[in-house]
Structure 1
């Protein structure tokens, strides 16, 4: 009877624990300690170039250490550790979705590099006699219009790979080109429900229909073009060194076109798995990876084991980028669990800032922290706002991530691809051009939504 009573009490406590709300720890020693650790760790992430330390190292340290401190505080004060366990599980699911999505996207990119696809694309672009500035515009516009279909991260990874194959040393082309791709990918993803994680979150939360997001196109492309135009003035007008008579036209490996087709189909599977089957987007990505593995087996049987080995492509993935995402999302998750991010929602009160200025501020906050948890905090708080304001916060959370190099998934991905070239410092040198474009995007939104009232069908 004692055993059964204990078991029933344990079950009851477990049931009540699931409904229990986590206490606000912002004004406790662990709250201030975690905030301090985050700021210090973030400094070393930002100063990666100065201290020659990979950004994944401080990010992974603060992300894991902060949650350990929170769990220790709960244990010392007799609080319900089940809350920490549940929060960690939810966070792992969120991180795993992004982690495996990135893993598959990077595998496809490395496979396409191995099969000579980007060398061929580089040859096709450079052989046309385009100047660095014209190449800058071509890659940027492709990024803007590919991002709504592929998603901003995959787009940024693909186009940054094209950049580094065109030119490997000239920073006066690579840095503005990389910034251009990041801004274009984030702006392009802002007006598509599945172009960015933040727009996807707002769409699935029912804050707008599919067509509602398409009305953000003028603000997205307007802000991007203004930034791109100003930034293009820093790109040289000279042509890359290229002699068509001496250069051998690179040929793509057998099966490269099929791999490209599988890549497009994999993105389609990711969208369909989430929107139609209500599975995580990474489920469709992993299915696409399985198809690539099956196809690689067929190529091995036909052309030999050295023709294409998918595991070699996996081995070349930038694991530091994946570790950075794990660390930074865990750190921000800890801040959210402690209660720091929830404090930001107070500013939506009309007596403080009101929704318009608060949503504009979300763009700056998403650049400093990360647009995903910031958007998550806004959606969970769900302040009373109309469709126009929900579209504004979707725009600012997406576009605002470009203000700092690691403020968005696209920026982090490009930092990994152009390691040592596209850095926090090199990005901030031109950040003022992005700020002008950000202000322009908000201004276009204001004219379209608040003055003209053009943002809803019917």
Structure 2
């Protein structure tokens, strides 16, 4: 973690104005269905406008802009890591779609007569077990694509299924040191050993299972329409499975490159993109068929990427002005346990990465048990709101118009109940039994 020089501008006109801009922008993001405005537009505006206001404040008052420039450079680096990671993951997914991988998977699932409920549990279970290795964002993107491919029109199936995938991916990532950005931050900051994070497994899986069970009650009966006579069998095009393996290799390089070489995860992802590009050249020479990766890149949801840029910039502005430091005041007022529980709700509203960064910088005196609790709550708390986590934002982009803020909030209570059950499991295991 790099220390950043933070001043307290919260009680200046720019502090209040940027906070107001964030609140108003957040309102339009949350009500994108009502105003029919893509969430990327208000997010990008508040992110860029906030720093314009800060720049004006510095210029008017003749302040040294060096701390501001340093923060902006650091923020650009943080955004780039997520931006390019997501860009490569989406490119791989679009390439798999073009090769018919998801259509073939859809055919195999629905041709077996699986019901909507069974498909709901299959996708959620896969999300929980893949995310500790592949990270929650990539996992959610892949499985939401599978879900959407199965039935693009049955929202009663798609919305609970999408929430289930987001919650499962975030819960699965919470007990792995590299399953989520926040767990990775806590691990690299030395707040727990590798096995300490694995001890969060019971709290993660039991909390998710409760939410999944409650959501499954709303999944419709029956199964997706399938007629063997009119539905042609879908086969994966040449090279499709090779791209699947290259995708797994890319994620592996990204994870282990970060652990052992201390590279940003996006560097391994970009290297994997380079390998994919070289493979398509080889494929064209061998099979006389051109897989145009640049065309697949053009299909990437740019609004999702821009939303990330905007919201992380906006939160970065709040952090620079000093607003996020009030998060750490929770610990002084109500103690570490209740403070850590509150962090989960804050991370659902404000991105969990800068929230965790603020807590690590403040470094409140806590034992390994409490650091594991804040890792758990910051990791899974974002599931309570659709865009409270990277996984949620990715799924909103993939299932645009279906999985939205409004559709998520109808079932948010199921996520909240699972959240509190996870905390209860943590308390029994870590505090009462001391098993960690």
**TM-score normalised by the chain length of structure 1:** 0.94
Please tell me whether residue 343 in structure 1 is matched to residue 326 in structure 2: yes
Structure with higher Rg: it is 1
C-alpha distance 271-344 of structure 1, shift in aligned 2 (>3 A) = same
Alignment partners' CA distance in 1, 2:435 and 2:147: 38
Give deviations 1:164-198, integer Å, cap 9, x for gaps. 11001011000000000000000000000110000
Alignment partners' CA distance in 2, 1:19 and 1:396: 23
> Would you say how many aligned residue pairs link Structure 1 and Structure 2?
435
**Alignment match of 1:357 (pick from 338, 342, 359):** 338
Q: How do 1:374-385 residues align onto structure 2 when only pairs under 5 Å count?
A: 374-385=355-366
What is the Cα-based RMSD across aligned positions, in Å? 1.2
Alignment partners' CA distance in 1, 2:260 and 2:66: 33
Give the equivalent residue in structure 1 for 2:70. Answer: 86
Q: Does the aligned pair in 1 maintain the 2:327–2:355 contact within 8 Å?
A: no
Give the equivalent residue in structure 2 for 1:153. Answer: 137
Unaligned runs of at least 5 residues, structure 1: 1-17
Give deviations 1:251-291, integer Å, cap 9, x for gaps. 11111111111100100110121111111111100000000
Please tell me whether residue 207 in structure 1 is matched to residue 191 in structure 2: yes
C-alpha distance 21-164 of structure 1, shift in aligned 2 (>3 A) = closer
SS at match of 1:340: coil
Give deviations 1:365-386, integer Å, cap 9, x for gaps. 0001111111111011110000
1:301 deviates by 2.0
SS at match of 1:377: helix
1:415 deviates by 0.4
Give the equivalent residue in structure 1 for 2:239. Answer: 255
SS at match of 1:88: helix
SS at match of 2:310: helix
1:20 deviates by 9.5
Please tell me whether residue 119 in structure 1 is matched to residue 103 in structure 2: yes
**Alignment match of 2:387 (pick from 395, 406, 411):** 406
**Alignment match of 1:130 (pick from 92, 110, 114):** 114
**Alignment match of 1:389 (pick from 370, 374, 399):** 370
C-alpha distance 356-142 of structure 1, shift in aligned 2 (>3 A) = same
Give the equivalent residue in structure 1 for 2:178. Answer: 194
**TM-score normalised by the chain length of structure 2:** 0.98
Give the equivalent residue in structure 1 for 2:86. Answer: 102
C-alpha distance 19-372 of structure 1, shift in aligned 2 (>3 A) = closer
Alignment partners' CA distance in 2, 1:119 and 1:346: 50
SS at match of 2:334: coil
Give the equivalent residue in structure 1 for 2:270. Answer: 286
1:71 deviates by 1.2
Alignment partners' CA distance in 2, 1:55 and 1:87: 25
C-alpha distance 340-143 of structure 1, shift in aligned 2 (>3 A) = same
Give the equivalent residue in structure 2 for 1:15. Answer: none
Give the equivalent residue in structure 2 for 1:173. Answer: 157
Give deviations 1:425-444, integer Å, cap 9, x for gaps. 00000000111100100000
C-alpha distance 19-137 of structure 1, shift in aligned 2 (>3 A) = closer
Alignment partners' CA distance in 1, 2:327 and 2:356: 11
Alignment partners' CA distance in 2, 1:415 and 1:355: 33
Alignment partners' CA distance in 2, 1:283 and 1:126: 37
Give the equivalent residue in structure 1 for 2:18. Answer: 34
Alignment partners' CA distance in 1, 2:5 and 2:416: 39
Unaligned runs of at least 5 residues, structure 2: none
